Chains A and B, each alone.
Chain A
Amino acid sequence: MTGRTPVRLTVNETDYDVTVEPRRLLADVLREDCNLTGTKLGCEHGVCGSCTVLVDGEGVRSCLMFAVQCAGRDIRTVEGLAAHGRLHAFQQAISTEHGLQCGFCTAGFVMLVVGALEDDPSIAEDPERLDGLLSSNLCRCTGYEGIRRAVLRAYGRNGTHEKDGAEGH
C-alpha cells in the first residue's frame, strides 16, 4: 500500500477510524489523530519509555511501531485506566508516593507497570525483577524512589490493587 491508508484502531475499547500514511508512528496517531495526548514522545528511539502503551496486553514502545501495524489489536493507553469514577490503583499510588514531578514520563511508567504487573503481580515481590522492569523507562525528576514505592503500594503484599478488587490475581 502506498500513500494514506485507512486503519481502524481499537484504543481503550473504542474504535477510531483514521487514515494515515504508513510511516506515521502509533504514538503520533494516538496523539494527533485520536486526540489521546496522554502518551508522550520523549526520545523517539525507544529508550526513554514515555510512549509506552499496551498492545494486546503487552507494554511496547509506541514510537517503534507504526499505526498501520496495529489494526485489529487491542491498544490501551493511560486515558483508559481509570474506571467507574475511580483512578486505577497504580495511578493513585504513584501520586501518593510522589512518583512524579513534571509528569511527562508518568503515563509511560504507569502503562509499563500496569501491563507487567497485571500479567504477573509477583514482580513486586522480587526486587531484582522489579528493577529490571522499571529500568525500562527514564525519569529525570524523581530519582525513581517514589515510582518503586508506588509499585509496592499498589501491588505488594496487601497492595491497594487487591483491595480495589481489580483483576489480575
Chain B
Amino acid sequence: MKPAPFDYAAPAELTDAVTALAERPETARVLAGGQSLVLDMHYRRERPALLVDINNVRGLDVITVDGHTLRIGALARHRAFETPTVAPAALGRLLSRVSPYIAHPPVRARGTMAGSLAWANPVSEWCATAVALDAGIELTGPLGRRRVPAGDFFVGPFRTARQPAEILTSVLLPLLPGQVGVGFCEQRRTHASFAQVAAVAVLTLRDGVIAEARLGLAGAADRPVRAHDAERHLVGREAEPEVFAQAGELAAAGSDPLAEPHAGVEYRRHVVGVLVRRALAQAREDSNGNYGDEGRDRHEGREAR
C-alpha cells in the first residue's frame, strides 16, 4: 500500500500553486489535509503525476466573519470547528455539533472542510452541511476566481463542478441568527466508520410556526442533497412531532440512496426518514435554547457507561 511515484510542489503563494496546477491539470492533484487523497494513493486508486501541496500557502487557514458570511479558508482543519465559538450563534452550534462525527481527532487535526467538499464523498457530513446552508464554494483557477453554489457543486459520487486546474480556496457559509435552531443526526456502525446516513436540519420558527426549513442529507443519494419536498412541507406548519414525521417520510420518499454492504437501499431510505425527524426535533429544541438530548442516537449518548 505505497503510493505510485509523483512529482511534488509546495509553493508558498496561491498564484504559484495555481500555475503549477495549470501546467498539467489532468494529472495533478491538490494536497490539503490529504486524509482521503493520500489514503486513495496508497491503494493506487489515485495516481497523480504531480501533487501540488497547498499547506505552505499563506493565509489559507483563516476563518473570518465577513458581513453575513463565514469565510473558511482551504486550510481550516476539521478540528477548528470543534468549539461553538468558531462562528457566531446557531452556525457555531451547528458546526461544532457536526465536526465530532468526522473521523477522529488525528484526522481532524489534518483534514480540512474545503478538502471534504472537494473530495465529495456522498456520505460526508460537511457536504451535507454545505448543501443545507447553500454554501458558496469559491474556486481559484488560471482565469481567476469564481463562486459556485453548493447545490450546483456536487455532481455525483466524488465528482464536483471544480475544474481540474482550479483550487477550492474558500467555503462561504451564511451566518445563522441566534434564534434559528439547528440539529444534526448521524447513523453509523462504529466510531471508526463512515456515516450510513446523516441529516442536517436548520429551522427558523416564528411563534411555533416554521418560517424557514433547510434539510441537508448525506447518504441519501449519489451526492449530498437537500430534501426540498420535506422543506416545503414544513414551512407554514407548526413545529410538532407529527409534522416532523411527515417531513421525514417525504425526505425518505425523495431519497435515492446507493446500496452498500450492510446498508441496502431500502434501509438507507428508511433511515433518512428517521434521522430527518430526529434532527428536526433537535433543531426545535435548539431553537428554544435547550441543547438537550432529544433525538440523539446512541453514539452520542454516554449513558451507556
**Which residues in A have some Cβ–Cβ distance to B below 8 Å?**
1-2, 5, 21-23, 25, 28, 44-47, 49, 52, 58-61, 63-66, 68-69, 112, 116, 127-128, 131-133, 135-136, 138
Contacts and interface: CB of A to CB of B under 8 A. Distances in A.
Contacts of B3: 23
A136 B108 CA distance: 10
Nearest to B8: A22
Interface stretch (B36-44, B137-145, B154-162, B217-225): B36-44
Contact of B35 (A22, A44, A64, A133): A64
A5 B8 CA distance: 10
B106 interface: yes
A45 B1 contact: yes
Nearest to A49: B106
Contacts of A66: 8, 38
Interface residues of B, number: 33
A22 B305 contact: no
Nearest to B301: A128
Given A22-B6, A46-B107, A127-B302, 4 more contacts: A46-B103, A112-B106, A132-B104, A136-B106
Contacts of A68: 8, 10
A23 B100 CA distance: 30
Given A52-B106, A127-B302, A128-B302, A2 B7 contact: yes
Contacts of B100: 132
A133 B108 CA distance: 11
B38 A65 contact: yes
A46 B5 contact: no
Contacts, number: 90
A2 B106 CA distance: 29
A61 B192 contact: no
A61 B109 CA distance: 9
A64 B34 CA distance: 7
Centre residue among A25, A28, A69 by max chain B CB count within 10 A: A69
Centre residue among B1, B5, B109 by max chain A CB count within 10 A: B109
Nearest to B110: A60
Contact of A69 (B2, B43, B55): B55
Closest 9 CB pairs of A and B: A22-B8, A136-B104, A135-B191, A44-B1, A58-B109, A128-B302, A23-B3, A2-B7, A45-B39
22 contacts: A1-B7, A2-B7, A5-B8, A21-B5, A22-B6, A22-B51, A23-B41, A25-B2, A44-B42, A45-B1, A45-B42, A49-B104, A59-B105, A61-B106, A63-B38, A64-B38, A69-B10, A69-B55, A132-B105, A133-B104, A136-B106, A136-B107
